[in-house]
Amino acid sequence: MKPKTKPAQTIAKCCKNQRRFHHYPFIVPKRTRRYTLIALILSLIIIACNQASTIPPSLVNTSPTETKVLKIWWDKGFTLEEDEALQQVVSNWQKQSGNKVKLSFYSTDELSQKVERELRTGDLPDLIAMSKSEKSRTARLAWYGKLADVSDLILPVKSLYPEMVLKTVSFYNESAQKRSYYALPIHQATMHVYYWRDLLEKVGRSESDIPKDWDGFWKFWKQMQNELRAKQINIYGLGLPLSIAAGDTYQTFEHILEAYDVQILDAKGQLQLNDPEVRQGIVKVLDWYAQLYQQGYLPPDALHWLNPDNNRNLLNRKVLMTTNETLSIPAAVRQDPDTYRKKLGILEFPNKPSGQPMFYLITVQQVVLFADSKNQEIAKDFLAYLIQPEVIGNYLKTAGGRHSPVLKPVWKDPFWTDPNDPHVSMATKTFIQGKTRLFYTFQNPAYSMVLKENVWGKAIQRVLVDRSSSEQAADEAIARIKQIFAQWDSK
pLDDT in tens, 52-83: 333 233 222 333 444 589 999 998 888 889 99
CB 171 within 8 A of CB 151: no
1 or 259, which is more confident?
A: 259
State pTM to two decimals: 0.82
Lowest mean pLDDT among 74-83, 303-312, 425-434, 472-481: 74-83
User: Quick one: which of 487, 484, 437 has its CA closest to 456?
Assistant: 484
| Domain 192-324+453-489, CATH number (from 3.40.50.150, 3.90.480.10, 3.30.930.10, 3.40.190.10) | 3.40.190.10
Task: Assess whether pLDDT exceeds 90 at residue 118.
Answer: no
pLDDT band at 140 (very low <50, low <70, confident <90, very high): confident
Task: Assess whether pLDDT exceeds 80 at residue 366.
Answer: yes
Task: Assess whether pLDDT exceeds 50 at residue 123.
Answer: yes
pLDDT in tens, 149-192: 999 999 999 999 999 999 999 998 988 999 999 999 999 999 99
pLDDT in the model for residue 256: 98
pLDDT in the model for residue 66: 47
Mean pLDDT confidence for 451-473 = 97
Q: How far is CA 309 from the centre of its chain?
A: 18
Q: Where are the domains of the chain?
A: 12-50, 69-187+365-417, 192-324+453-489
pLDDT in the model for residue 138: 87
Counting residues of the chain whose pLDDT is more than 90, the rounded percentage is 73
pLDDT in the model for residue 79: 85
Task: Assess whether pLDDT exceeds 80 at residue 244.
Answer: yes
- First and final C-alpha spacing in the chain: 85
pLDDT in tens, 196-241: 999 999 999 999 999 999 999 999 999 999 999 999 999 999 999 9
3-state secondary structure the chain: CCCCCCHHHHHHHHHHCHHHHHCCCCCCCHHHHHHHHHHHHHHHHHHHHHHHCCCCHHHCCCCCCCCCEEEEEEECCCCHHHHHHHHHHHHHHHHHHCCEEEEEEECHHHHHHHHHHHHHHCCCCCEEEECCCCHHHHHHHHHCCCECCCHHHHHHHHHHCCHHHHHCCEEEECCCCEEEECCEEEEEEECEEEEEHHHHHCCCCCHHHCCCCHHHHHHHHHHHHHHHHHCCCCCECCECCCCCCCHHHHHHHHHHHHHCCCCCECCCCCECCCCHHHHHHHHHHHHHHHHHHHCCCCCHHHHHCCCCHHHHHHHCCCECEEEECCCHHHHHCCCCHHHHHHHEEEECCCCCCCCCCCEEEEEEEEEEEECCCCCHHHHHHHHHHHCCHHHHHHHHHHCCCCCEECCHHHHHCHHHCCCCCHHHHHHHHHHHHCEEEECHHHCCCCHHHHHHCCHHHHHHHHHHCCCCCHHHHHHHHHHHHHHHHHHHHCC
CB 42 within 8 A of CB 24: yes
Average pLDDT, the chain: 86
* Fold equal for 69-187+365-417 and 192-324+453-489: yes
pLDDT in tens, 28-60: 444 444 444 444 444 444 333 343 333 233 222
pLDDT in the model for residue 67: 52
441 or 357, which is more confident?
A: 357
pLDDT in the model for residue 387: 96
pLDDT in the model for residue 181: 97
pLDDT in the model for residue 175: 85
Within a 10 A sphere around the Cβ of 12, how many other Cβ atoms? 12
Mean pLDDT confidence for 380-391 = 97
pLDDT in the model for residue 32: 42
pLDDT in the model for residue 445: 84
CATH of domain 69-187+365-417: 3.40.190.10
